[in-house]
């Protein structure tokens, strides 16, 4: 496995490189287009969503896919970052929503995961199955009841309406449980014999060992909630409080040029986080797949 790649390997590598390029193409096109001027964007892509009458000689009209800008400009970025305060305020809105969710779900989730993974109590597996099922449900399934509860709690149109359900999401419990299940019982039993309480074992033994899991969970949660659209769409009517995901949903139709720059800025934290913590990310996904 560690021998040098063979000739077929080389051919395969090239094939893969082409495929990888295709995979990266939407991302690359967004980045490249974000450096074009507004005029160039509208010149190339103005035909999107327009019905050209083909009978009227409009047969040859197509958008012009352009891979290199005529000249580079950071005009769009200046527009997004400097000339309009809305993008940044929504960016921090997103941070303000996602940050508490990630931290909260890690804390709550790892506590519960410890109980599921290392403690024995009646109905444990059934309860875990319920968590698992909830994790799998599409958001729309709990839409009405969730709406009613949030309304009853008076959280409507408040960022807590997004944050609180986020904190108690089942994914953190599930994933930390998978991680902790792999920590050998021998370690926790040894600590128990040494007279450590469950909290000490959790804090001193299990949690340090589950650190990669925590990191992986953080990355996965960040990606997932950074991308959320449905929840704020319904629970945050006030546009001042809305996160960036909704902003981009609005912008793409109206100002494509600015949209490319905003999209690039929007995906940048995720891409950077992913490249930085790719190993944790991979590990997190792999652990979620391994049956405990």
Partner 1 sequence: MVMEEQKSGFSKRKLRIFAGLFLALLVICTLAGNTLRSMSLPKVYTQPASKGSVAHEYEGSATVQPGQTLDIANPAGWKVKKVLVKQGDKVSAGQKLIEYDDSEWKLQLDDMQTNLKKQQLSMDQLQANYIAAVTEGSESALAEAKIAIESAKLDIASQKQHILSLQKSMTEGQSVSAPFTGVVIQVNASAGTAPGLGPELVLANSAKGNEIRLQVPGDVAGLLEIGEVLDQITLSDKSNRQLSGTIVSIDDGESGGEGIMPANAGDDSNNTSSLPSSVTISLKDDNLKGGDRVEVKIAKTSEEQTVTVPNEAVHHDERGAFVFTLEGREGPLGNAYYAVETPVKIADSNAYVTSIAEGLFEQQEVIVNSTGFLLDGTRVRR
Partner 2 sequence: MSRDGAVAGLFLAPSLIGFSVFYLIPFVLGFYQSFTDGAIGGQLVGFRNYADLLHSASFRKAAGNTMLFTAVGVPLLIILSMTLAILLNRSLYLRSWLRTSFMLPLVVPVASVVTVWQVFFDWNGTLNAWLHELGMARVDWMQSNWSMSIVVVMYVWKNIGYDMILLLAGLQSIPKDYYETASLEGAGRFRQFRHITVIYLTPTLFFVLLISIINSFKVFRETYLLAGDYPYDRLYMLQHYMNNMFFELDVQKLTAAATLMVGCIVMLTSGLLRAERRFRENSE
Footprint on residues 231-250 left by partner 1 (CB under 8 A): 247, 250
Give residues with Cβ within 8 angstroms of 225, minimum separation 6: 97, 98, 101, 102, 166
Do 259 and 48 touch, CB atoms closer than 8 A? no
Residue with tokens 């305060």: 85
- The partner in contact with residue 155, picked from partner 1, partner 2, none with C-beta cut-offs of 5 to 8 angstroms by kind, is none
- The partner in contact with residue 42, picked from partner 2, partner 1, none with C-beta cut-offs of 5 to 8 angstroms by kind, is none
Any contact of residue 157 with partner 2 (CB under 8 A)? no
Any contact of residue 282 with partner 1 (CB under 8 A)? yes
As measured in angstroms, the least distance from the Cβ of 163 to partner 1 is 21
Q: Is 140 exposed, middle or buried (0-12, 13-18, 19+ CB in 10 A)?
A: exposed
As measured in angstroms, the least distance from the Cβ of 198 to partner 2 is 5
- The partner in contact with residue 11, picked from partner 2, partner 1, none with C-beta cut-offs of 5 to 8 angstroms by kind, is none
As measured in angstroms, the least distance from the Cβ of 240 to partner 2 is 19
Footprint on residues 172-191 left by partner 2 (CB under 8 A): 173
- The partner in contact with residue 4, picked from partner 2, partner 1, none with C-beta cut-offs of 5 to 8 angstroms by kind, is partner 2
Whole-angstrom distance, CA of residue 103 vs CA of residue 108: 9
Most distant CA pair in the chain: distance in Å?
A: 86
- The partner in contact with residue 83, picked from partner 2, partner 1, none with C-beta cut-offs of 5 to 8 angstroms by kind, is partner 1
Any contact of residue 45 with partner 1 (CB under 8 A)? no
As measured in angstroms, the least distance from the Cβ of 264 to partner 1 is 11
Taking alpha carbons only, the member of 225, 211, 185, 200 closest to residue 287 is: 211
Consecutive H or E run containing 238: none
216 by DSSP, 3-state: which?
A: helix
- The partner in contact with residue 79, picked from partner 2, partner 1, none with C-beta cut-offs of 5 to 8 angstroms by kind, is partner 1
84 by DSSP, 3-state: which?
A: coil
Contact window for partner 2 (CB under 8 A) among 81-89, 182-190, 207-215, 273-281 = 273-281
CA dihedral 15, 20, 23, 29 (to 10 degrees): -110
Give residues with Cβ within 8 angstroms of 191, minimum separation 6: 200, 201, 204, 205
Residue with tokens 């074009």: 36
Footprint on residues 70-99 left by partner 1 (CB under 8 A): 78-89, 91-92
Name the site residues for partner 1 (rule: CB under 8 A): 78-89, 91-92, 247, 250-251, 254-255, 258-259, 265, 268-269, 272-273, 275-276, 278-279, 282-283, 286
């Amino acid at each position: 496995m560690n021998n040098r790649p063979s000739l077929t390997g080389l051919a395969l590598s090239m094939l893969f490189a082409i495929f990888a390029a295709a995979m990266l193409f939407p991302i690359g096109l967004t980045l490249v287009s974000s450096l074009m001027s507004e005029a160039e964007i509208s010149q190339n892509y103005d035909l999107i969503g327009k019905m050209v009458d083909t009978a009227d000689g409009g047969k040859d009209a197509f958008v012009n896919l352009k891979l290199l800008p005529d000249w580079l400009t950071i005009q769009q970025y200046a527009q997004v970052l400097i000339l309009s305060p809305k993008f940044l305020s929504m960016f921090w809105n997103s941070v303000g929503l996602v940050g508490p969710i990630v931290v909260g779900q890690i804390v709550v989730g790892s506590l519960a995961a410890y109980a599921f993974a290392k403690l024995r109590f009646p109905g444990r597996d059934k309860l875990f199955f319920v968590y698992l099922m909830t994790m799998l449900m599409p958001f729309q399934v709990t839409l009405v009841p969730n709406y009613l509860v949030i309304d009853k709690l008076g959280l409507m149109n408040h960022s807590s309406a997004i944050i609180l359900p986020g904190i108690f999401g089942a994914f953190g419990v599930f994933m930390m449980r998978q991680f902790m299940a792999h920590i050998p019982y021998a370690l926790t039993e040894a600590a128990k014999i040494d007279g450590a309480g469950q909290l000490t074992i959790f804090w001193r033994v299990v949690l340090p060992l589950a650190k990669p899991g925590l990191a992986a969970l953080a990355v996965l949660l960040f990606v997932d909630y950074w991308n959320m659209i449905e929840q704020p769409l319904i629970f945050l009517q006030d546009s001042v409080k809305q996160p960036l995901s909704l902003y981009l949903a609005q912008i793409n139709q109206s100002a494509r040029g600015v949209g490319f720059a905003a999209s690039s800025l929007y995906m940048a934290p995720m891409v950077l986080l992913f490249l930085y913590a790719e190993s944790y990310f991979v590990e997190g996904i792999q652990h979620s797949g391994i049956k405990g």
